[in-house]
Amino acid sequence: MSISTLRLILPDSRWEEQILLFREAFYPAPDGIPGTSGLSQAASVTDWLESLNEMAATSRVPAGLVRGLQFILIDGSEIVGMLNLRTALNDYLENFGGHIGYAIRPDVQNRGYGRKMLKLGLVFAQAEGLKRVLITCDDQNQASAAVIEACGGRLEDKRINPETKHLVRRYWVLT
């Protein structure tokens, strides 16, 4: 990992091959891939990119959902992570999903990418006008909890997600 080549950017069609490799790295992903805006369920990268454009445009967000910005973390010429920033919270996100979801490609986990990506994501959250950011993780996900805490996350509470039956940690981070 080189800090000079590490970038958090919006994805586009130039990254199609890397996006597919990222998705394949999580196969199978029956519950989806966190922080990827439904990448594992998308029929194609083109469809996924179109849905991202819809979610980024406030006027085109489907009812019941919130505006979201999808980012890819690039190290050199490879996608090593993805982060989704929701600029508002609905009831579900307030309780279980938070403003930010993210994933690091499995073969490069535990190398510091999560912490670096989340710090970059918090800069974008601040630019979007968010003063406090809610970030959640499963109670069993000690690696994610450590990343959130390293980025200033303060545990507010833990809640049972009625859909998954998992205990979810809820952290707030000041931007």
The DSSP-derived string for 41-81 is G-SSHHHHHHHHHHHHSGGGPPTT---EEEEEEEETTEEEE
- What value does the mean pLDDT of the chain take? 95
Q: In sequence order, what are the residues at sequence separation of 6 or more whose Cβ sits closer than 8 angstroms to the Cβ of residue 33? A: 23, 26, 39, 40, 82, 103
Checking if the pLDDT of 32 tops 60, the result is: yes
* Structural domain total, the chain: 1
CATH number at residue 66: 3.40.630.30
SS3 category, 31: coil
Checking if the pLDDT of 4 tops 60, the result is: no
Cα(173)–Cα(22) distance, integer angstroms: 27
Checking if the pLDDT of 10 tops 90, the result is: yes
| Domain range enclosing 80 | 3-174
Checking if the pLDDT of 69 tops 80, the result is: yes
Q: What is the pTM of this model?
A: 0.94
pLDDT at 3: 55
pLDDT at 30: 75
Give Dmax over CA atoms of the chain in angstroms: 42
Q: Which residues pair with 97 in a beta bridge?
A: none
Q: What is the mean pLDDT of residues 82-99?
A: 97
